[in-house]
Amino acid sequence: MARESRAGSERIIKTEYSEVMQKSFIDYAMSVIIARAIPDARDGLKPVQRRVLYDMQELGLRYDRPYRKSARIVGDTMGKYHPHGDSSIYDALVVMTQDFKKALPLVDGHGNFGNIEGDSEAAMRYTEARLAKVTQEAFLADLDKDVVDFVPNFDETEKEPSVLPVKIPNLLVNGSEGIAVGMVTSIPPHNLGEVIDAMKAYMLDENITTRELMRYIKGPDFPTGGLVTNKDELLEIYETGVGKIKIRGKVEIEKAKGGRTNLVITQIPYPMIGANISKFLTDVAALAESKKTQDIVDISNQSSKEGMRIVIELRRDADAENFKNLLLKKTRLEDTFGVNMLAICQGRPETMSLKQILKASVDFQFEVATRKYTNLLNKETERREIQEGLIRACNVIDLIIEILRGSKDRNMAKECLVNGVTDGIRFKSRESRIMAAQLCFTERQANAILEMRLYKLIGLELEALINEHEETLANIYRYEDILARRDSMAQVIINELEEIKREYARPRRTVVENVEEAIYKEKEIEETELVCLMDRFGYVKTVDKTTYERNREAADGENKYVFPCKNTGKICLFTDTGQLHTIKVMDIPSGRFRDKGVPLDNISNYSSEKESIVFVTSQTELNLCRVVFATAQAMVKIVDGGEFDVSKKTVAATKLSEGDTVVSVACLHDQKNMVLQSREGYFLRFSVDEIPEKKKAALGVRGMKLGEKDRIEAVYYTKNAVETAVEYRGKKLVLNSLKPGRRDSKGVKVRV
């Protein structure tokens, strides 16, 4: 229910709650989309950016005047136009100053406004700002000529422009990124000169195709430079407004001292801006630590105000080109920029193509120019009327002076000048009265005559008035021609665009090409036979076979797991939680027999605090056998070892019931019987053939009937004609002597 109060009385309105929620959410979503997160296609600005720039204009922060504290700008914008958090306003101000994020910075900042490596800006009380020159000339220049609509601010105490009269397609030049409710915009920046050329081409031929427009706009031009590698895909991106742009950093190979080679990164992909630079350095270091490469000697970030410079020193025998490909494959030196050219067009969000954005910008330019020159024409027409009146007045100035001297008040003189009313005015002669009766100045002309100063009667002033009148007539003719002919208006717009291009265009930074995908060739490693040793504390190492043979007795006595492996293979750890952890043998330290080794926790996802190792073997061994599982709740199954040949470091090796754990994992070779031992002393010996083969994701079948609180404590295997004995409660127990049973029976209780 909704409650409404009027004049002290209450009226209950009954409504469906879901309808209220739906309407409220739609209103909220549209508010976020239209009024906050998505830019307008006409000026390419979000509301907060537009309000900041307009407020700076109102504060008089021109490019040729002193800077003003950012806190003053933020506070004034928040109080007058943008009733949201000060941080969002300051963030918008900061981004508009950063030349590494914006192709055309709109604000001239003074102080610490952050840097390309992600260091944050100083607090707003420390920094200062003013409008950039291009903003003053291309974004705000004609605001005083009634070229755009002004709307009330949030509390209707001020007026603000609904859009700025931007003279360039700023949506393309500076791009935009924003997240709204259910939609996102991501528009890459472009080169100002190329965008202006494309806009001119569209104005001259509205039927121009996207392919033809791309003769002017080669592709995105990121402030950080880089190399766009999928040139052929850009046409579809610009036609649909959606796609992915692949971009690489610029890498140069330099010769260093001592015959070494340095890889120097001088430009980075645009998405790497900020914290991703430090992540890139970390990723490169990780390549060396994980032994993906052994070519790195040192890495240093030597970037400065002069530009980006990340230096990677390589070994003398390193293949620099191959290492470069490794960086492209394994780090963010090659990245993608997701394009979704979403903007507000005619009051609603729309994914726009390149041509649609140019059309919206051109239509807006014609609309602005029409309003501008209509306004100028009206002013020049008024000026012509006044000038013609003053010129006529100068020709009969003696009569006008006589009327002024003979009139009792201003209204009497004005009536005579406008309507020729001479009643009550004293004239020197009858001829003067007759001439005065013939006067027919307009009201505006009469006011100008009455306000005219005597110095205007000087000969030079009169000549200047005539020249000014001729100039006004020329302006009127020009403005009428511009308004009457679209070609004339188009030429005026083109002239303004060419001036902006001459003043502010810069060479392209981003190279656009078709480049083949980077291929990294790993160095071929000579395959060798090793022996893996793991002690009961979870320390693991590998030694060559010769070393193992020399120390076989000590190795077998001191280690819990001893098995052969290859340096190119993996070892597999099965844990009581049902997980399988794989470790590359190359990640395990290899050395002398007496070396301690490394904890498993350090080289795998295994955690000794959360799980215990049940079985360890090599991937090669697993591929050649079948694996049998037994759990504490007596669930058993056999799984083909090939199912555990996985690429992930950790996978589920088996499915477990709630509260169950894995007790035993073993490779089946020539074992014939399984023996399950419970905590309460029950033993069950049955044939391995009774255990069904299942998938690793299966639960298995029950191997033994247990009491309510009983659990499987140990699992053994026996072979035919081979005696197998274990120690049970201090005494020897021959497992072969146990009476054979069937799977899923209770077994026999052994008393000692």
CATH architecture of structural domain 529-749 = 6 Propeller (2.120)
Which positions ≥6 away from 224 have C-beta within 8 Å? 100, 116, 267, 268, 269, 270, 272, 273, 308, 509
The neighbouring-strand residues paired with 153 are none
Q: H or E element: which one contains 352?
A: none
Residue 489, token pair as written in the block: 């208006």
| Structure letter (DSSP) for residue 37 | I
Cα–Cα distance for residue pair 560/101, rounded to 1 Å: 58
CATH superfamily of 45-165: Topoisomerase II, domain 5 (3.90.199.10)
pLDDT for residue 195:
96
- Chain centroid to Cα 17, Å, comes to 37
Cα–Cα distance for residue pair 182/175, rounded to 1 Å: 20
| φ/ψ of residue 572, rounded to 5 | -120, 130
Decide if pLDDT at 484 tops 50.
Answer: yes
What is 250-332's CATH topology?
Gyrase A; domain 2 (3.30.1360)
- Chain centroid to Cα 515, Å, comes to 24
pLDDT for residue 303:
86
Cα–Cα distance for residue pair 55/107, rounded to 1 Å: 12
Cα–Cα distance for residue pair 663/651, rounded to 1 Å: 18
Residue 586, token pair as written in the block: 């190359």
Backbone torsion region of residue 118, taken as left when φ is above 0, otherwise alpha when ψ lies between -120 and 50, otherwise beta? left
Residue 53, token pair as written in the block: 């720039």
Decide if pLDDT at 322 tops 50.
Answer: yes
Decide: 479 and 373 in contact? Cβ < 8 Å: yes
Question: DSSP letters of 93-114?
Answer: HHHTT-TTT-SS--EEEES---
How many residues does the structure list for the chain? 752
Decide if pLDDT at 89 tops 70.
Answer: yes
Q: H or E element: which one contains 268?
A: none
**Of residues 403 and 693, more confidently modeled:** 693
Give tens-digit pLDDT for 284-301. Answer: 888 887 777 888 888 998
Residue 510, token pair as written in the block: 């981003």
Decide: 571 and 532 in contact? Cβ < 8 Å: yes
Cα–Cα distance for residue pair 433/265, rounded to 1 Å: 91
pLDDT for residue 401:
81
Decide if pLDDT at 265 tops 90.
Answer: yes
pLDDT for residue 294:
81
Residue in this structure with the two tokens 């006067």, named with its chain if needed: 439
Cα–Cα distance for residue pair 619/563, rounded to 1 Å: 11
pLDDT band of residue 194 (cuts 50, 70, 90) is very high
User: Over 180-244, what HEC string results?
Assistant: CCCCEEEECCCCHHHHHHHHHHHHHCCCCCHHHHCCCCCCCCCCCCCEECEHHHHHHHHHHCEEE
| φ/ψ of residue 262, rounded to 5 | -110, 140
pLDDT for residue 7:
47
Residue 566, token pair as written in the block: 């290859």
Cβ count near 67 (within 10 Å): 14
Residue in this structure with the two tokens 């020249």, named with its chain if needed: 467
Cα–Cα distance for residue pair 430/434, rounded to 1 Å: 6
Nearest alpha carbon to residue 138 among 183, 169, 97: 169
SS3 729: coil
Cα–Cα distance for residue pair 643/641, rounded to 1 Å: 5
pLDDT for residue 420:
81
Decide if pLDDT at 3 tops 60.
Answer: no
Residue 161, token pair as written in the block: 């422009």
Share of the chain above pLDDT 90, in %: 52
Nearest alpha carbon to residue 446 among 415, 421, 472, 425: 415
Buried b / exposed e over 411-434, threshold 16 CB at 10 Å, is: ebbbbbbbeebbeebebeeeebbe
pLDDT, mean of residues 497-501? 95
Decide if pLDDT at 360 tops 80.
Answer: yes
Give tens-digit pLDDT for 103-157. Answer: 999 999 999 999 998 889 999 999 999 999 999 999 999 898 889 999 998 888 9
Decide: 107 and 131 in contact? Cβ < 8 Å: yes
Give tens-digit pLDDT for 613-634. Answer: 999 999 988 988 999 999 999 9
Which positions ≥6 away from 326 have C-beta within 8 Å? 287, 292, 293, 520
Give tens-digit pLDDT for 215-233. Answer: 999 999 999 999 999 999 9
Decide if pLDDT at 523 tops 70.
Answer: no
Q: H or E element: which one contains 21?
A: helix 17-32
Q: What average pLDDT does the structure give for the chain?
A: 88
**CATH entry 1.10.268.10 includes domain 371-504:** yes
> Where are the domains positioned within the chain?
45-165, 250-332, 371-504, 529-749
CA distances from 714 to 117, 191, 610 (A): 58, 73, 21
pLDDT band of residue 34 (cuts 50, 70, 90) is low
pLDDT for residue 404:
83
pLDDT, mean of residues 370-376? 93
Is 126 a residue of the active site?
yes
Catalytic residue among 126, 270, 504, 520: 126
Decide if pLDDT at 548 tops 80.
Answer: yes
pLDDT band of residue 5 (cuts 50, 70, 90) is very low
Which positions ≥6 away from 604 have C-beta within 8 Å? 573, 581, 582, 583, 649, 650
Cα–Cα distance for residue pair 619/623, rounded to 1 Å: 6
Nearest alpha carbon to residue 13 among 25, 21, 5: 5
pLDDT for residue 29:
62
Residue in this structure with the two tokens 């019987």, named with its chain if needed: 673
CA distances from 161 to 63, 136, 144, 260 (A): 21, 15, 11, 60
Nearest alpha carbon to residue 277 among 333, 227, 223: 333
pLDDT for residue 2:
45
Vertex 598 angle, CA 597 and 599, to 5°: 130
pLDDT for residue 456:
66
| Structure letter (DSSP) for residue 525 | P
Give tens-digit pLDDT for 677-732. Answer: 999 999 999 999 999 999 999 999 999 999 888 999 999 998 887 888 888 888 88
CA distances from 485 to 147, 175, 339 (A): 19, 33, 38
Decide if pLDDT at 93 tops 60.
Answer: yes
pLDDT for residue 9:
59
pLDDT for residue 1:
41
pLDDT, mean of residues 419-434? 82
Cα–Cα distance for residue pair 189/225, rounded to 1 Å: 11
